[in-house]
Chain A
Amino acid sequence: MFVLIVGVGRVGAAVAKNALSTGHEVSVMDEDPLSHERLDAGQATSWEDAGGHFTVGTALELDALREAGIERADLFIASTDGDNTNLIIAQIAQKQFGVQKVIARVMDPARAAWYREQGLHTISPAQEAIGMFIDAVQAHAGVV
């Protein structure tokens, strides 16, 4: 499948590398050209040599999204550092480009939950962390 990831931070880069290494076609986009280094770090070959695509552009630029291949994307992941940006571009991918599967990274658990209710697949790293911390607190309470 063809995966497009917008926002190449720690999360975006790691997911991109994993998708590429598991045999998928992967295109990533970020407004910062230097974010490319994250894709090469710790790899034997460069991102492009490994078969990956990289586009510089901001997420709301339709031309950049097209250049990155959104029109043939099977999966779109919005993982910039802005919750609102991710929520908006995920909807653009869905409504304007008809991407089959769209996932948005949303730090704020409240926004993540409401948009999930609206049918958007959201992943909230903060919510995940909260759950793990609560579990850890409970587990320790059982020890003392």
Chain B
Amino acid sequence: MYAVVIGGGKVGLSLTRELVAKGHEVTLVESRRSRYLNIEHELQHSVQYGDGTELWVLERAGIQRADLVIAVTGDDEDNMLVCQVARDKYRCDHIIARVNNPRNYSHFKLLGIQPVVSATDLILRLIEHEVPRYGLVHLLALEEEGLEIIELEVSAESPAAGKALSEITMPDGSLFISVLRHGSGFVPKSDSVIEAGDRVLLVLEPGLEETIIAYLAPETAHAPA
């Protein structure tokens, strides 16, 4: 596989190292002279100096034959632009963009740039997972497929608490995957009883979050996230 990585910061450099170690051909593009000179020592011909948002720089890096373009600069506009031209001008099949400011996520989405990776987002998810008072945790969003997996603590106020799965009427488009209780998990069967304090994993169609919260953790329904 041939990958072009734009942005030689910690993320770009580490990615390049890993990809090279896995036997892939990689070109990293870095626009800051001092940083380029430092990296060049290590990566030699796998790094090029230049502004990766300039078309001739991308072409010099061989973007026309790239299987994958990864834009990981510290500037969201630059990352969006690189991915847009990689996809629309150079017909690159796979692009990955880094989102620096989570507020810009909607702009990436608007321009159809995905998948995107946001460090803030990843850490937030970890925090949500570690701090139960956050209520509903988004574990995975399969946007193309229109599904998501969430985690939620069942409260004593929920009508589902203390009932067997077969007695619980879940909204259409949602399903229990597993139950985490006292530190271990199991896949519930129809006669498994859901208890208050259980952390449950659910797969849902997007848009059902509010309904699910109102049903399984009603007292947190209007609490700020």
Contact with A along B100-128 (1 / 0, CB 8 A): 01011011001100000000000000000
Check: B32 CB closer than 8 A to any chain A CB: no
Check: B88 CB closer than 8 A to any chain A CB: yes
Q: How large is the interface on B (under 10, 10 to 19, 20 to 34, 35 or more residues)?
A: 20 to 34
Q: Are A108 and B54 in contact (CB under 8 A)?
A: yes
Query: Chain A residue with minimal CB distance to B82?
Result: A84
Q: How large is the interface on A (under 10, 10 to 19, 20 to 34, 35 or more residues)?
A: 10 to 19
Query: In the complex, how many angstroms separate the beta carbon of B148 from the nearest chain A beta carbon?
Result: 23
Q: Are A88 and B56 in contact (CB under 8 A)?
A: no
Q: Are B76 and A60 in contact (CB under 8 A)?
A: yes
Give Cα A84 to B106, complex, Å.
Answer: 17
Q: Are A88 and B103 in contact (CB under 8 A)?
A: no
| Complex interface residues of chain B between 25 and 48 (CB less than 8 A to chain A) | none
Q: Which residues of A contact B76 (CB under 8 A)?
A: 60
Q: Are B88 and A60 in contact (CB under 8 A)?
A: no
Q: Are A84 and B110 in contact (CB under 8 A)?
A: no
Check: A100 CB closer than 8 A to any chain B CB: no
Check: B81 CB closer than 8 A to any chain A CB: yes
| Complex interface residues of chain A between 80 and 101 (CB less than 8 A to chain B) | 82-85, 87-88, 91-92, 95-96
Instruction: Provide the main secondary structure of the chain A interface.
Output: helix
Give Cα A85 to B104, complex, Å.
Answer: 12
Query: Chain B residue with minimal CB distance to A111?
Result: B55
Query: In the complex, how many angstroms separate the beta carbon of B80 from the nearest chain A beta carbon?
Result: 5
Q: Are B78 and A114 in contact (CB under 8 A)?
A: no
Q: Which residues of A contact B103 (CB under 8 A)?
A: 60-61
Give Cα A102 to B53, complex, Å.
Answer: 22
| 8 additional A-B residue pairs with CB within 8 Å, beyond A84-B80, A91-B111 | A60-B101, A60-B104, A84-B81, A88-B77, A95-B111, A110-B54, A110-B55, A111-B85
Sample 10 A-B pairs with CB under 8 A, ordered by A number: A60-B101, A82-B77, A84-B75, A84-B78, A87-B77, A88-B77, A88-B80, A92-B107, A111-B53, A111-B55
